[in-house]
Amino acid sequence: MQYKPNPERYQKMEYRRCGNSGLKLPAISLGLWHNFGDIDTLENARNILRVAFDNGITHFDLANNYGPPPGSAEANFGKIFKEDFIPYRDELIISTKAGWGMWDGPYGDWGSKKYLVASLDQSLKRMGLEYVDIFYHHRPDPETPLEETMAALDLMVRQGKALYVGISSYEPEEAAKAFDILKQLGTPCLIHQPRYSMFDRWVENGLLDVLKQFQVGCIPFSPLAQGLLTNKYLKGIPAGSRASSQRGNGAIDENQVSDEKIKKVIQLNTLAEERGQNLAQMALAWILKDNQISSVLVGVSKPEQLLDSINCLQNYFFSEEELNRINLILE
């Protein structure tokens, strides 16, 4: 049966302006890092995407190497897009990235113009798209001149293969240089995608200041610390969790789930319950409390988890006392 989205989908979501641009992003965006590869079920992926759009999530975030195997998340998204979402293309923000290893040889990794141009062409074919809304350089390249990498991003926009460009995982100083180069080229950087969670607050050491200075949006990934900031680990490592499985592709390492971390998770969970939220909802709300955050990326294995995440929007106000308690727990 042909998919027809919920007519009230735009009443269910909050949209935030992305940096100094005309683009608004849903406060919650869907990342296809896990659970959309060939080892996963296509119908489950379809259900997740439908539930996302039915609830006003208009932004689907991919990368060339998402899977596993690499490329399969884009290919599977392409199949579902063709069957379900083509009539709604102009209501969607679809992003992809390149910068990690994708194919053999010296031209399938890092940040050369050769790699980035070829990778985006491959991504568009896999997804069956004429363009992506946002194309990112996925990580800094210590050997390729930054001018070359940024010129490649500028080229993508001029060729009509991307509407906007972004960067991911750049340190503050390098990000500032990238923003400056892109501004001079005439294609300002739209957005930065850093790792950010209660357990991983490196962006607060200068990066958020740089983003504010250059009026660039921010869309954190891994806001739940790969599942650690959920009720999943309150009693240790459960069977079937990311820490217990060998999925690769950046899944949480069992060694990260220490007794000390579990103790902090339990204390944070107590505060979340006092706020009328579960731990995952509080962890997402804690990031979204800052209006400098354009959106936050969530990854889910089933539609119910996505609906649960969206409920964080019902309360992302924190009192001074709550913020102090969180900081004391995390010290």
pLDDT tens across 219-247, in order? 999 999 999 999 988 876 666 655 555 44
Q: Is residue 318 one of the residues assigned to a domain?
A: no
Q: Is residue 153 one of the residues assigned to a domain?
A: yes
pLDDT score at 259: 87
- E strands in the chain: 15-17, 24-26, 28-31, 59-61, 93-98, 132-137, 162-168, 191-193, 217-218, 296-298
Q: Is residue 272 one of the residues assigned to a domain?
A: no
Q: Is residue 86 one of the residues assigned to a domain?
A: yes
CATH number of the domain where residue 75 is located: 3.20.20.100
Helix-, strand-, coil-residue percentages of the chain, each rounded to 5: 45, 15, 40
Give the chain's domain count.
1
Q: Is residue 28 one of the residues assigned to a domain?
A: yes
Q: Is residue 314 one of the residues assigned to a domain?
A: no
Encode the chain (331 residues) as per-residue pLDDT tens digits: 899 999 999 999 999 999 999 999 999 999 999 999 999 999 999 999 999 999 999 999 999 999 999 999 999 999 999 999 999 999 999 999 999 999 999 999 999 999 999 999 999 999 999 999 999 999 999 999 999 999 999 999 999 999 999 999 999 999 999 999 999 999 999 999 999 999 999 999 999 999 999 999 999 999 999 999 999 888 766 666 555 554 444 555 666 678 899 999 999 999 999 999 999 999 999 999 999 999 999 999 999 999 999 999 999 999 999 999 999 999 9
pTM of the model: 0.94
Tokens of 186: 């005439």
Torsion angle, alpha carbons of 263, 265, 269, 275, to 10: 120
pLDDT score at 232: 85
pLDDT score at 1: 85
Q: Is residue 112 one of the residues assigned to a domain?
A: yes
d(CA 230, CA 225) in angstroms, rounded, equals: 9
Domain of residue 97 covers: 9-235+291-302
Q: Is residue 32 one of the residues assigned to a domain?
A: yes
pLDDT score at 93: 99
Exposure string for 118-154, b = 16+ CB within 10 A, e = fewer? bbbebbbebbebebbbbbbbbbbbeebebeebbbbbb
pLDDT score at 249: 45
Percent of the chain beyond pLDDT 90? 91
